Amino acid sequence: MSIWKRLPASILPRLVLVALTFGCSWGAWAPSASARRPGEVRVDQLTRAQKIALRTTATVRAIRRVGRSVIAITTKKIVRRNPYYVSPYGYPPSRGRQRRTTSLGSGVIVSSNGYAVTNEHVVSQSTDITVKLADGRRYKAKVVGAARRFDLAVIKIQAYTKLPAAKLGTSADLMPGETAIAIGNPFGLSHTVSKGVISALKRTVKIKGRKFSDFIQTDAAINPGNSGGPLVNIVGEVIGINTAVHRGGPGIGFAIPVDRVKRVVVDLLKYGKVRGAYLGLAVYDYNGPGVAVGSVQPGGPAAKAGVRRGDVIYSIKGQTIVDVYTFRRVVRKLIPGEIVWLRMRRGTARVRVSSLSPRQARLLFEKRLGFTLDSAAYYARRMRLHTRDGVVIRKIRRRGRAWNVGLRRGDVIKRLNSFNVSSLLDMNKAALQLLSGRSVMMIVQRGRNSYYVTVPY
């Protein structure tokens, strides 16, 4: 009797099912020339050009678009030693001695006629600037304008041919998680590329005692020497200028958003500096969070946005306002032309920041200190002054800041901080450079005598 006849009838269907299942699995697993997809080519059959085409990713294409515009910056600086410093080893003071230092940084060309952007701290106090392009060409460069409070500078490359310029994108629509590429010269390693993502937006960072806000945070490797180089998106557009790395650990770098860079560059190219921001309102502290609006300049930016006297401002551009000092610090970081939102007790206001003219800066200075200034030359005979240079205090408010430090009517201001003042025009320019929340040093002449006075501003 055959083996099939000995098996129970219920076993036969199961055996058939197992056989069919095993056959199907084996057919799928077994290698076969006919199983290869139509048109599929093995790697060893590809040409060199085909392999390069497959390896050319979006990142590679982005670097090709902007890489030629990245420059390595070498600066030479003269550092003056403290003439009264005594060495811990007993060496005497080295009076008047100087030493030369060399520092490295990065930058990006933004115009074919040789204008490039970098960090202010890369080129500050430099006596000689040399840039190196990706193709090895070297040129001298000079500073066109710098803004310390934004840590940005524009340099002009002294080349007589057109240079490759990068395309500036926008930072208004950046998304956390999207690809970010940093290009620069870390530790002198020319044109180094690192890739990561945008980790966060609107970060506040403190760098060498200076506080910066609205930074882009990225985990693309940023090291010493990367400062001033571009942060690029996946399509090859510059979205930021690399500025700092977090000392607490790797993978935390910061870049200035390109929209802010573009606004700063416009002012630096036109004026050599960034104009003061002007909102057209005065504020004061009161019992509660925020600051209260004491007055609104008719026709000014705030008035056009609907801000009224008595409004309480809680935040500007997303930054919380605690007191008048915070308000002034935030406004000082604004750039003429940009649009900011003011969050107030009764709603919000969309304000386009205007520029502060030199005359407006002087009037603001007079209002804060509580006096009125005029030309000493004009009032010399009328007020019996002993000088015709400088500006004279024509009126002064009792118990104001100027009154409290001893200034009186008839005093003549001859110097304001580091600026010599011989006319109202000089005072206008000097007032434009004053920083809120800091003291102002003045040289004042009373009668035939002169003295120093410091006034809180």
Long-range contacts of 318-322 (CB under 8 A, 24+ apart): 318/202, 319/213, 321/290, 321/291, 322/289, 322/290
Which residues does the annotation mark as catalytic?
121, 151, 227
Give the Cα separation of 426 and 176 in Å (integer).
47
Q: Alpha carbon of 428 to those of 88, 270, 382, 424, 437: distances in Å?
A: 47, 19, 23, 6, 19
| Phi then psi dihedrals of residue 322, to 5 deg | -100, -45
- Residue 285, Cα to own-chain centre: how many angstroms? 29
Give the Cα separation of 168 and 123 in Å (integer).
22
**Interstrand relation of 238-245 and 230-232 (parallel, antiparallel or unpaired):** antiparallel
**Interstrand relation of 412-416 and 439-446 (parallel, antiparallel or unpaired):** antiparallel
Strand, helix or coil for residue 163: coil
DSSP 87-104: -TTSPPP-TT-EEEEEEE
Query: For residue 369, which of 441, 298, 281 has the smallest C-alpha distance?
Result: 441
Token representation of residue 18: 């197992």
